[in-house]
Amino acid sequence: MTSIKLSRPVADFHVHVRDGKMMELVVPTIKQGGVSVAYIMPNLVPPVTSVSDAVAYRSRLQAVDSSITYLMTLYLSPKITPEVIHEAKKAGITGVKCYPAGVTTNSDYGVASYVPYYPTFAAMEEEDMVLNLHGECPSIGHIHVLNAEEEFLPTLKDLHTRFPKLRIVLEHCTSAAAVQAVLECGPTVSATITAHHLFLTIDNWAGNSFNFCKPVAKFPDDRAALIKAATSGNPKFFFGSDSAPHPIVNKEKGKGASAGVFTQTLAAAYVAQVFDSVGAIDKVEGFLCEFGRDFYKIEEMAPSFSVTLTKTDTVVPNLLGEGPGAVVPFMAGETLGWTVKTEDL
Ligand code: DOR
Ligand code: ZN
């Protein structure tokens, strides 16, 4: 198969576009990557912790590109009470994102214990909202970046047991253990898989801050488990790019370099390349377009463009934007074997 016209564009269930100038630079790349539905992360500075913040943020996004359906999340913090959940549901907000304190970019306001949020989770379960979990424990004591996700898995299972009807997404899973845990949970638990974690292992980010993200890419066996899950056709696993733009100056820092890999511009091409490399290109549409939409039960605008994936070479640009705020895309300068083409309807 050398060309696939998708029945509908890609839905990307984990997108960082920031605000202000970075938002203006990055939002137009959502469509370029073949995506018409973007689930927008709330880790702005300060984070999105009220319904009015989320609604205003959605309007700013729409002003940059009105052809995308933006799905909004709130940043879990003490402000997200059960009352806020009921208000959020009425305002069309889809979910709540939970960052454990200190594990990644802009997670300083994150959660130290889940217990105080049980009433919030109960309200979300009642309203049928989605809980998005950044599944890592902070690096304290015996915990470090390589086992932080595995150490989190008992918490995933505990929350699922306490709130069996609450739809939970284990975001950007990176390990064989996480895949196994998601498979062991009931149908209300799913996981997103990024494009970059289908390519990267520990050797690729040790010494290369442009490939550094959280959770960090793990071992070759873990990557193999992710590829197997993504290409399996099991609807529990769907696409969430976790594309995370950072100004080049913050990536070139060495010590203290920001965590995040930017894949938005060629999102669907990276994924197609990996699926094709294991003979599973026939499974790509389910992963990119169908399973996430089904799990989220989303309402969206009729797409204003079509997307075709073609097996032809694309050279990944070296830079998006100019000056110190420019962003270096994943695999900059390398050639991908697949191209994303969008056509206005
Ligand atoms: O690598 C990451 N970057 N992981 C996250 O969880 C956050 C993201 C960001 O916001 O840059
Ligand atoms: Zn993220």
- Domains of the chain: residue spans and CATH: 3-344 (3.20.20.140)
Range list of H helices, 27-147: 28-32, 51-64, 82-90, 118-127
Q: Which atom of ligand 1 is nearest to the CA of 261?
A: 1
Kindly state the tokens that stand for 147: 């086992």
Global confidence as pTM? 0.98
Q: Which atom of ligand 1 is nearest to the CA of 41?
A: 10
Ligand 1: residue whose CA is nearest its atom 4: 214
Which amino acids bring their CB within 6 angstroms of ligand 1?
Answer: 16, 43, 104-106, 134, 213-214, 242, 244, 259-260
Total length of the chain? 345
| Per-residue confidence (pLDDT) for residue 256, from 0 to 100 | 85
Expressed in angstroms and rounded, the spacing between residue 105 Cα and the centre of ligand 2 is 8
- Cα separation, 306 vs 341, in Å, equals 8
List Cβ neighbours of 202 (8 Å cut-off, separation of 6 or more): 146, 216, 217, 218, 219
Ligand with smallest separation from the Cα of 104 = 1
Q: For residues 202 and 146, is the Cβ–Cβ distance under 8 A?
A: yes
| Per-residue confidence (pLDDT) for residue 103, from 0 to 100 | 81
Expressed in angstroms and rounded, the spacing between residue 236 Cα and the centre of ligand 2 is 19
Ligand 1: residue whose CA is nearest its atom 7: 105
Q: Which atom of ligand 1 is nearest to the CA of 259?
A: 1
Expressed in angstroms and rounded, the spacing between residue 3 Cα and the centre of ligand 2 is 30
Cβ neighbours, 10 Å, residue 319: 13
In this prediction, the residues of the chain whose per-residue pLDDT falls under 70 are 1
Ligand with smallest separation from the Cα of 18 = 1
| Pocket probe mutation, ligand 1, options 14, 73, 105, max atoms within 8 Å of Cβ | 105
Ligand 1: residue whose CA is nearest its atom 2: 260
Cα 203 to Cα 73, 166, 299, 319, 327, distances in angstroms? 33, 37, 40, 23, 22
Measured N-to-C along each axis, helices 148-162 and 176-184 cross at an angle, to the nearest 10 degrees, of 10
Q: Which atom of ligand 1 is nearest to the CA of 103?
A: 6
Kindly state the tokens that stand for 293: 């939409």
Ligand with smallest separation from the Cα of 145 = 1
Kindly state the tokens that stand for 65: 């590109």
Expressed in angstroms and rounded, the spacing between residue 247 Cα and the centre of ligand 1 is 13
| Per-residue confidence (pLDDT) for residue 1, from 0 to 100 | 62
Expressed in angstroms and rounded, the spacing between residue 40 Cα and the centre of ligand 2 is 9
Expressed in angstroms and rounded, the spacing between residue 250 Cα and the centre of ligand 1 is 13
Kindly state the tokens that stand for 271: 């994924």
Expressed in angstroms and rounded, the spacing between residue 100 Cα and the centre of ligand 1 is 12
| Pocket probe mutation, ligand 1, options 41, 137, 208, 213, max atoms within 8 Å of Cβ | 213
Expressed in angstroms and rounded, the spacing between residue 164 Cα and the centre of ligand 2 is 24
DSSP secondary structure code for residue 299 in this structure: -
